[in-house]
Structure 1
């Protein structure tokens, strides 16, 4: 566990007998190992984790439609993993968007103790603090691997903990979609002029970039997007990538699918735990929750990489959608505006400035390494005739 995750750990187990301590330690070690190895479903519910332990039922609210591929199913998988690895002492019940609270009310529900955990994306909470954007995705920001590196090893988690603690929440990385697409457009946007007057669904700071391009950004939950696009309430929408986007059938309405998604280069998803609850958990319970989130992050990212590639093939081979790359002048202007927006957000308060400074350092280092590692390899692989 990271340094910040170890602070303030409840020491109730120190009062237990030596036998109880041994059972708890064994359970925690077994749980962490099996979580990361993906073998959680093989754990017996009658094992040492149950000795002297009362069952807790935890309510997880999400910002996703019920059973939505990748996002909704990932939240459900995380909940099931926690339940399985705990041997049933932590039973997590999942509520999709709208079942217990509206999608964008998940944060407040956990903050206020009306729910115990949420699964969502931190930029949805930018109204609470602009710093939350940096722990999900910002325009021209960090890739998925760079986000993981910054949060886990570059000081990001400690900053995130400080921010979320203001709202009685303990945050964790709990998924990543990888680089996203630029969005679905009913008409081509090949020039800067094409963005003027365009109504586009795009949350977070990406929406601010669109506004400065002349568009009108709109924030809507995922379940509302198809109808809004179909009825003409919006002219364009971004969501995630081919896998999720085809599940929403955007390709039946909008025929121009743009890339790259500069607004979300590696969108990190999160699990927030009510901080009062977190402080009441013992070491073993905390280990199970934290390592389950870590396992889900790896699983979800791998799942998105595979299914996006498969869905892209279907999109190309079975639909009349045209893949379009944003033009160089558009991308250049997006980059210029992105830097302006991030600098202005950082200037909003001293804490956000601290987060931005740490984020910029991670981006600079990651970009330098990426240029001679993955980017260089991708350029070299382009020469292969077997691609």
Structure 2
């Protein structure tokens, strides 16, 4: 699938009308809006799977119809649309909601923070899930984590990076709090929906862009105009996806439907991670061999500068005046430090040992 196929599908869906009632013969018809182009590999396709799974696990008592970014709600408008009850649920990432809550953005993704497995451990066993739900309840929302891209790639750049000085003045599309890190290092950061990035790169409006990883990035065509593709360096160890429902509508469900909806969302988490891990290596090979993308490692001085800037940003965030935001952030920091210490004793030496001898 290429970017033209993705956007043609979105245009066709946008031409349909919304004539179905919210309730038909005792069955609910929910509208899901997303922050992604329709059928974008990764978040776009997984959002559709969540919608289909809710329909299946509820036995059709709830039918979910998906509308991609811009079809009825702009990509960054989905939070407010569901909060206000204009539509029923959305699929996006918490990293987009910094203006509503610093803690929500951190749960979505934080530079040099938690990996996907650590994030789920923190939510399920570290007491964070209850606070996550309490935070979103302020906005009439019921959230569920429903996927994760794993380590995000640093991004596509028109020019190679030599050192931190190359970031100063760089026009960069960077979503979420990684944007705040780049800004601290002098980059001119622009937040824009992923569907607008290719044209901005092509027009020279931006010099670089990050999104997810090879499977999702390849079809968007960024490598056609920005050939240097920098691999992960810890700048985004993970990026979680969330399905979020208008809370009054979720609360009104009988217990069996609440459980079915929860399972439909949460079951996608492991499945999404596994799919990205499977498809990313294959997509990367195709990008290199067929599209001429040149993979680069991020220079160590750039990694260090990003890490130092990330910690500076976190020190500012932990001063949030809101007690709930502050409690979530402090819990995140403590869990991250414990996880990094253990990973250094377990996963780092394990991966180093695996890399010693290729099996060829």
TM-score normalised according to structure 1 size: 0.84
Q: 1:267 to 1:261 in 2, by over 3 A?
A: farther
Q: 1:67 to 1:82 in 2, by over 3 A?
A: same
1:365 matched to 2:338? The reply is yes
Q: Find the partner of 2:287 among 290, 315, 318.
A: 315
Alpha-carbon deviation of 1:285? 0.6
Q: Secondary structure at the match of 1:257?
A: strand
1:188 matched to 2:160? The reply is yes
Q: Deviations over 1:306-328 (max 9, x none)?
A: 11011112223333322111111
Q: Deviations over 1:136-183 (max 9, x none)?
A: 101111101111111111111111111101100011101111111000
Q: How does 1:1-387 map to 2 (within 5 A)?
A: 54-349=26-321, 350-386=323-359
Q: Secondary structure at the match of 1:127?
A: coil
8 A contact 1:205–1:263 mirrored in 2: no
Separation in 1, partners of 2:53, 2:211 = 26
Alpha-carbon deviation of 1:385? 2.9
Q: Secondary structure at the match of 2:320?
A: coil
Q: Secondary structure at the match of 2:295?
A: strand
Q: Secondary structure at the match of 2:38?
A: coil
Separation in 2, partners of 1:360, 1:197 = 30
Look at both structures and tell me which one has the larger radius of gyration over its CA atoms: 1
Moved more, 364-373 or 156-165: 364-373
Q: Deviations over 1:315-355 (max 9, x none)?
A: 23333322111111111111111111011011122322211
Separation in 2, partners of 1:165, 1:263 = 30
Q: Deviations over 1:254-279 (max 9, x none)?
A: 11111225332111100111111111
5+ residue gaps, structure 1, are 1-52
Separation in 2, partners of 1:228, 1:142 = 30
Q: How many residues align?
A: 335
8 A contact 2:148–2:238 mirrored in 1: yes
8 A contact 1:183–1:261 mirrored in 2: no
Q: Secondary structure at the match of 1:100?
A: coil
8 A contact 2:229–2:293 mirrored in 1: yes
TM-score normalised according to structure 2 size: 0.91
Q: Secondary structure at the match of 2:234?
A: coil
Separation in 1, partners of 2:289, 2:347 = 28
Separation in 2, partners of 1:191, 1:151 = 36
Separation in 1, partners of 2:30, 2:224 = 39
5+ residue gaps, structure 2, are 1-24
